[in-house]
Amino acid sequence: MLKSLKTIVFGLVAASLSMSAMAENERALDLDALLKQLEEGKFAQTQQNKQREQEFLAKRAEQDQILRDTNTLRDNTLALSERLETQFEQNEFKLADLNEALTTRLGSLKELFGVLQQVAGDTKNKFYNSMISAEISGRSEFLDQLAQDMGSSSKLASIEEIERVWFELQREMTESGKVTKFTTDVVEAGGAKVSKEVVRVGPFALVADGKYLEFNGVTGTVSELIRQPADRYGESAAELQASNGDIVKFGIDPTGGSILGLLVQAPNLQERVEQGGVVGYIILIVGAFGLLLSIERLFTLTFIRAKVNSQLKSAEVKTNNPLGRVLKVRDEHPNADTEALELHLTEAILAEVPKLGRNLTIIKIISVVAPLMGLLGTVTGMINTFQAITLFGTGDPKLMAGGISTALVTTVLGLVVAIPTTLLYAMLNTRSKNIVYILQEQAAGVIAERAERG
């Protein structure tokens, strides 16, 4: 067994030597050389271990010194913390005594400064959005700073600051009753900033170039309203700006812009029509077509009636009018008996009736169909409204506004088309029948005259 173990050891050594020989340019080593190499390596390892032990010992002394320094620093810090806590408590007592002494010395002035702080804060908010600040700037900043300073107990307002608060209040009241002109930068609706002459009507309105302006207290800028009110308000604004002290009618907003903002949000005529949707446009197209037919029939019947009246006053038969063409039948059949002539005249009158009543049926149909189309739009809009309620509930009325607008606008458009077309149809139909009555009357006279001759 021992021999086998030695054999294995020698084999491993031999393999080791073989690998070392390959690493050292294939130099061969014997067992003595290997033993020597192992002894040298063991000696080097021992020297290295001793060196590391010495380094550890040296660093241990250094770590002990650091620990002692840290303990000393901790003790000093704890002592300083105790002194600071003691001093903080003493300062709190002193501060309480000083505040009590300050309150005692202030007396009624404390209430005065409290009221002053409240007035400064309230006035700041008023000046912040006041249109007078567009002309007189810097007022809200002063009051804001004063309110902040008065909020701290370490600073009191001076006599000059108190007087300035009173002055700013008095100036606000004075300027509220004035109409003044000043020059400032105005942001136009397109985004360009232009220096313009602006007219300020107290704290109620700002106008320039016949347009209403708004003042933004956040940015401190004056800008045109994207949507202007009705033309009559713009005309009054232009008259006010061109006035040299004369009295001019001008619409003001006593709420400081709230009513004006709601007024410009009201949709105009074009937007109303657009709210009607497709059905609304169809109603307008049909109504326009009916209106054109009515105008054509009105001029035509008026012209024909004038020619018929002229024929009634003339003994000469003219064929440029229905009455002349009917009377011509009398001349074309001079020898016909009464019954035959009556038939010929009736035929001539019946030939004129379609010409006189042309397109009147279409106008009547349009007057009937228009409100039905409006009803169709109403039903469609209500369906959209109920669908919105089903999906989103009734919490937000704006979601239902589209359907309700379609429902109401189409009904209005249908009535707007139906009412005038109905009146026009009645008027045109009456005129047409009056001409037919004249033809029948004259034909009856011709028959009577022929009967008397027979």
CA atoms within 13 A on the CB side of 70: 6
CB 203 within 8 A of CB 132: yes
- Measured distance CA(392)–CA(410) in Å, rounded: 24
Q: Give the Cβ contact number of residue 309 at 10 Å.
A: 14
Which residues on adjacent β-strands are paired with residue 221? 216
Residue 198 has which token pair?
A: 């602006």
CB 193 within 8 A of CB 185: yes
Closest CA to 404 of 417, 420, 392, 387: 387
3-state SS, residue 230: coil
- Measured distance CA(204)–CA(255) in Å, rounded: 8
Residue 122 has which token pair?
A: 């309230």
410 vs 75, 272, 274, 442, CA distance in Å?
90, 10, 10, 48
Q: Give the Cβ contact number of residue 143 at 10 Å.
A: 25
Per-residue pLDDT of the chain (454 residues; tens, 9 = 90+): 444 444 444 444 444 444 444 444 444 446 677 677 666 666 677 777 777 877 777 777 778 888 888 988 998 999 899 989 989 988 888 888 777 776 666 556 666 677 777 777 778 778 777 888 888 887 777 777 777 777 665 567 777 877 888 888 888 888 888 888 888 888 887 778 888 888 888 888 888 887 888 888 777 788 887 777 777 777 777 878 777 777 878 777 777 667 776 776 666 777 777 777 788 889 999 999 999 999 999 999 999 999 988 888 887 888 888 888 888 888 888 877 888 888 888 888 888 888 888 889 999 999 999 999 988 888 887 877 777 777 766 666 666 666 677 778 888 889 999 999 999 999 999 999 999 998 888 888 888 888 887 6
- Residue 398 pLDDT: 64
> What angle, rounded to 10 degrees, do the helices at 31-106 and 2-23 form?
70
3-state helix vs strand vs coil in the chain, percent to 5: 75, 5, 20
Q: Give the Cβ contact number of residue 425 at 10 Å.
A: 23
Q: Which residue type, as a one-letter code, is found at position 333? A: H
272 vs 41, 269, 282, 402, 422, CA distance in Å?
104, 5, 14, 11, 23
Q: Give the Cβ contact number of residue 60 at 10 Å.
A: 10
Q: Given the structure tokens 């009221």, which residue do they identify?
A: 115
Long-range contacts of the stretch 419-422 (C-beta < 8 A, 24+): 420/291, 421/287, 421/290, 421/291, 421/294, 421/363, 421/366, 421/367, 421/370, 422/367
- Residue 8 pLDDT: 45
What lies within 8 Å, CB to CB, of 286 at 6+ separation is 366, 369, 370, 373, 417
Where in the chain are the domains? Answer: 40-174, 178-265, 269-453
- Residue 365 pLDDT: 93
Q: Given the structure tokens 């008397």, which residue do they identify?
A: 452
Closest CA to 197 of 205, 206, 189: 206
Q: Cα-flanking dihedrals φ and ψ of residue 12, to 5°?
A: -65, -40
* Confidence (pTM): 0.55
CB 428 within 8 A of CB 298: yes
CB 284 within 8 A of CB 413: yes
- Residue 401 pLDDT: 64
158 vs 105, 116, 117, 163, 266, CA distance in Å?
16, 11, 13, 9, 50
What lies within 8 Å, CB to CB, of 272 at 6+ separation is 409
CB 374 within 8 A of CB 410: yes
Helix (H) or strand (E) holding 208: strand 205-208
Q: Which residue type, as a one-letter code, is found at position 265? A: Q
